[in-house]
Every structure is written in structure tokens, then in C-alpha cells.
Amino acid sequence: MPEYMGSCQCGAVQFRVSSRLDHPSRCNCSYCRRAWNAGHYVEMGDFELISGESDLGEHRFGSRTAAHHFCQRCGISVFSQLRWRGEERYVVNLGCIEGFDLLSLTDLPVNDGASYR
Ligand SMILES: [Zn+2]
């Protein structure tokens, strides 16, 4: 499985994901619409926070079941942890992934996060 490194803008928060990142999507919830261009679901064991745990802020809203994590230094939304279709998952902000061509993505599927608030 390919490995990708990711980080917030200032570099305080760094993470690694093991994923092909071949199923990018968008989310229509009130948070992701504002924070992210596109994300990718990652299984719990395929995500590793490498640095910046103490720099992470957490935002919850609605049902408060999803934890949206952002860097408190630079403000970038880095990843979220939530239950999706019965499974605990991370969702990483694809804009934070090194070497991932975010701007080439078109016609992404939209997850109905707005119904899972
Ligand atoms: Zn940062």
C-alpha cells in the first residue's frame, strides 16, 4: 500500500497514511464545505499522527460524534475522526497530503455529511 505524508501549513502537525487515495470525495456538511476542498476516508490502522498532538484543536458540532481536528498554530483543518457507515474512520484533508495533485481532481462524489451532523 502506498504511504503518503501529510501536514498542516506550518508543519507542526504531521501524519502518515497508508492508502491509494483513489476514492477522494467532498462532504456537504457545514464544516467541510468551509474547511476542505476534498478528503479521503482512511481506516483507523492506516493513519498515524507523527507530530503535533499538543497543537491540535478539536471541533464538534451537531450530534458531536465527529471530531474535526485542526492546527491551533496555522488554523488548517487536517483530519477528522468519525463513524461512517458503522465504522470508525479518519478522514484526511487531501490538501494536506504531500505530492497529491489536489487541483487535478474533478467531478468528485459528495458524501452526505449534512445528514449525519
Ligand atoms: Zn499548523
pLDDT tens profile 8-26 = 999 999 999 999 999 999 9
Q: How far does residue 47's CA lie from ligand 1's centre (Å)?
A: 18
Q: How far does residue 94's CA lie from ligand 1's centre (Å)?
A: 15
Q: How far does residue 9's CA lie from ligand 1's centre (Å)?
A: 5
Q: How far does residue 72's CA lie from ligand 1's centre (Å)?
A: 6
CATH code, 50 = 2.170.150.70
Within a domain: residue 113?
A: no
Q: Could you give the strand order of the β-sheet that contains 39-43, starting from the edge strand earlier in sequence?
A: 39-43, 87-93, 77-84, 67-71, 56-59
pLDDT tens profile 73-96 = 999 999 999 988 889 999 999 999
Q: How far does residue 101's CA lie from ligand 1's centre (Å)?
A: 20
Q: How far does residue 14's CA lie from ligand 1's centre (Å)?
A: 9
DSSP state of 115: G
What DSSP string describes 34-69?
HH-S-EEEEEGGGEEEEE-GGGEEEE--TTS-SEEE
Within a domain: residue 107?
A: no
Total-model pTM:
0.92
Q: How many CB atoms lie within 10 A of CB 62?
A: 13
Q: How far does residue 99's CA lie from ligand 1's centre (Å)?
A: 18
Domains contained in the chain, number = 1
- Indicate the SS3 state at residue 13: coil
Within a domain: residue 84?
A: yes
Rounded to whole angstroms, how far apart are CA atoms 37 and 100?
13
